[in-house]
Structure 1
């Protein structure tokens, strides 16, 4: 099947010089949140296959596992470091006793995280390092100032933000150029179009959509068959029974569109994201070769403005039932989290 796949272009992500594959690979589900960790060698083989077919932009975080996913990526890229671009993140931590999740962007914690990620990934320099979530208690200028030191040392090549508001993006970019902002963007998650995406474009910052397939919804994931421990089964509001039943109509519409365009519902949804701009590089995640190749196949679609409008009309965002995260997690996203003013900081 791989021989029939479209070529995966290399593109500039942002305006600072980073080049990546036009589609990336989200690696989170290999180790965390989507049920038990998957067999290590299978995941290493999957990553190698992704690189072989041109998907070289690998996305991870120290929060995935925690730490386990970075170790996996480190093993997978042995001998092929020069072929891949590694993006990882810091800022979300899990209390080892209470298991409660929190945010920490303080300087001493950043330093621990950078050194920890470099060691686990077994690399000398991180290609793209994201602030995974913005800390309300720490001015973004302080956070980026510490990361800038690591860029100057050569331990980080480019900086990014995830789930950041327009104002925080501007403040961060004023301290050191931001290369990319990661955000949830899909047919049913489009609120970033209002302000976040225009800000990125004004500043020459690349756009990296995560969950471009609606956490598998647009690929036809059967929520009831997901393993225990998969957070989608219990915690993603849109996938809970009362909302899922209402949302199913959107999936069925994409099934019909797939017949028209000659693709799967997931390919139609992902092709829509890919068409949102030359500065857009989505990172669909998967743990299966079949799904990886299906996702890459979405790069072969050429959609007109009329096609895109038709696809958008099939999933009117105002009719989507449920939010993208549970309430507590929503409070950590860009709409609700704003960095403390610099004047408040006391080292």
Structure 2
């Protein structure tokens, strides 16, 4: 697989990464551990070098799984993980990006991942109680200590990016971006390119919607978080099914799946963009990786963009949207 460089750095990753979240969390029943590890190994065999996890996935279970899966292969992969969420004794979640907290939880992530360093360490969500300068200053200290190698942010806007980058170069921003979530194009992508920061696109398949495989919400597991996702509800769902049908039409002419077309579109939006689709199934892993070989003409790109309107519904619940910063 082709490699891409994140930001103005020496961090090279596969053009398509692997989002590990769904192996343990949020998307229904977790994968069996042996199957999840086999899937990660297969991804490596197919050229994937970039694996994304977070302490909050599980919580903590995902990092442990990734650590076990990558044992013995550490030198050939790039590991990205995230900090920032904390849980109370009754399971409620809040944000904490104070330096003392970061210094504590990085060691815990290193232990779970069974590694001496983290390649890319993201702040999972902006903590409104802690100036971004303090958070990035703490992360810069971790680079000096050799515990992390690059700093990332997630779901922040241009002003925060500039403030953070002034303290220490930011290597990558992770934000949702896909054919039906194009909000980053207005201000975020131009800012990233001005500053020389890479873009890691999560949910590049619209949480599975753009694959065309989800026919009705009832097909999802009872504990799948998408059952409460506004885009999967009622009239929103019906409208979004129509959008997927337009992708399907182009896919048929390219002898590809709708998901492959959605990924190919994103890969064509710039060499500074790295999507990180996730899956529990080998079939979809192979399909996703094959999308890196699909060529789309400028006319096909324009056709897709003109035909796919704005998706219906917010991308998270009201609570989830409150954690998204666009400052």
Same fold (TM over 0.5): yes
Per the alignment, residue 220 of structure 2 pairs with 226
What is the distance in 2 between the residues matched to 1:192 and 1:324? Answer: 13
Which deviates more from structure 2 when the two are superposed, residues 86-95 or residues 38-47? 86-95
For residue 129 of structure 2, give the secondary structure of its aligned residue in structure 1.
Answer: coil
Identify the residue that residue 321 of structure 2 maps to in structure 1.
Answer: 330
Partners of 2:86 and 2:190 in 1: CA distance:
30
Q: Distance in 1 between matches of 2:234 and 2:309?
A: 20
Cα separation, 2, equivalents of 1:201 and 1:96 = 42
2:5 counterpart of 1:12: yes
Q: Give the whole-Å Cα distance in 2 for the aligned partners of 1:100 and 1:241.
A: 28
Task: Find the aligned partners of 1:103 and 1:240 in 2 and give their Cα distance.
Answer: 28
Q: Which moved more, 1:220-229 or 1:240-249?
A: 220-229
1:254 aligns to 2:223 (yes or no): no
- 2: CA distance between counterparts of 1:170 and 1:71? 33
For 1:137, the equivalent position in structure 2 comes to 129
Partner of 1:89: 82
Among 28, 50, 59, which residue is 1:57 paired with?
Answer: 50
Deviation at 1:96, TM superposition (A): 3.3
- Residue in 1 aligned with 2:286? 293
Contact 1:12–1:279, Cα closer than 8 Å, also in 2: yes
Which structure 2 segments of 5+ residues have no match? none
2:233 corresponds to which of 237, 240, 244: 240
Cα distance in structure 2, aligned partners of 1:212 and 1:64:
18
Cα distance in 1 for partners of 2:234, 2:24 equals 26
Structure 2 CA distance, aligned partners of 1:102 and 1:261? 45
Q: How far off is 1:247 after superposition?
A: 1.4
Distance 1:130 1:221 in 2: 31
Q: 2:20 aligns with which of 2, 21, 27?
A: 27
Q: How does 1:261-280 map to 2 (within 5 A)?
A: 261-280=254-273
- What residue is the counterpart of 1:111 in the other structure? 103
Given the alignment, which residue of 260, 274, 286 partners 1:281?
Answer: 274
Does residue 310 (structure 1) correspond to residue 303 (structure 2)? The answer is yes
| Aligned length in residues | 325
Q: Residue deviations 1:149-185, cap 9 Å, x none? A: 1100111011100001111111111111100000100
Q: Measure how far apart 1:206 and its partner are.
A: 0.4
Alignment check: 8 A CA contact 1:180 1:208 kept: yes
Residue 195 of structure 1 and its aligned partner are, at CA, apart by 0.8
Q: Superposed, which structure 2 residues align to 1:74-85 within 5 Å?
A: 74-85=67-78
Matched, 1:169 2:198: no
Following superposition, the deviation at residue 36 of structure 1 comes to 2.4
Structure 2 counterpart SS, 1:173: helix
Q: Which residue of 2 aligns with 1:43?
A: 36
Cα distance, 1:62 vs structure 2: 0.3
The DSSP-based 3-state class of the residue aligned with 1:178 is coil
Q: Name the TM-score, length of structure 1 as normaliser.
A: 0.92
Deviation at 1:253, TM superposition (A): 1.2
- Structure 1 segments unaligned to the other structure (5+ residues): 1-7, 339-347
Tell me if 1:126 matches 2:118. Answer: yes
Deviation at 1:94, TM superposition (A): 3.0
Are the aligned partners of 1:25 and 1:285 in contact in 2 as well (CA < 8 Å)?
yes
- SS of the aligned residue for 2:274 comes to coil
| Contact persistence 1:16–1:177 (CA under 8 A) | no
Compute the displacement of 1:16 (Å). 1.5
CA distance in 2, matches of 1:280, 1:55: 15
Return 33-42 or 178-187, whichever deviates more.
33-42
Deviations 1:65-120 (A, max 9, x none): 000000000000111001110000011233330x3222111112111211110000
Q: CA deviation at 1:220?
A: 2.1
Secondary structure in 1 matching 2:51 = strand
Conservation of the 8 A alpha-carbon contact between 2:212 and 2:245: no
